Chains A and B, each alone.
Chain A
């Protein structure tokens, strides 16, 4: 079974530019999460999709961040325009529906905004 995949693995952009991160969850996982970890800090929740619907987006920092999951499969997270404080590692995780809470994390995208 393939794990969660994320693309790109690294992205270096300048302040004001746009970046789109992609996450492909484990096949059949309805639940998809985005997290961000800034250097040395906690892994912070951004939002949660159930299929194509946003279940909880309370962690999204501001309206420069837009997440989509059209068709309920892969998800994208767009940052536009990027700011310096957006730098960090963005993790995607997926989970099946039902009683299990186990989330499977992708390798992350390391975003550097210069």
Chain B
């Protein structure tokens, strides 16, 4: 079945620095979604990418979908303490079932 790998599992970032988390699927995806889970919270939808090579920005967050629609990345610039949490990518195959990555847990050093 479809598998989604996400790296790194943990990311310790100095406040103000940039970082990127990567997501790779074993199969071509219909779309990919990104979710953020704050400590003690639940996953909250951030964005969905559908088109090959698509790039979307949300303030300091930049999301990319690969040309082959098998990989994606999330880049955060000038990390802030509010960015703390676990970021999940979730790939959708030919049905509405989402396959989640294991998440990247981000901590920020002030």
Contacts and interface: CB of A to CB of B under 8 A. Distances in A.
Nearest to B47: A102
A41 B43 contact: no
Interface string A53-66: 00110110000000
Interface of A: 31, 33, 35, 40-45, 48, 55-56, 58-59, 91, 93, 95, 101-108
B42 A91 contact: yes
A107 B40 CA distance: 9
Q: Which of A43, A44, A58, A106 has the most CB of B within 10 A?
A: A43
Given A42-B4, A56-B97, A101 B44 contact: no
Interface in B21-47: 31, 33, 35, 41-45
Contacts of A44: 100
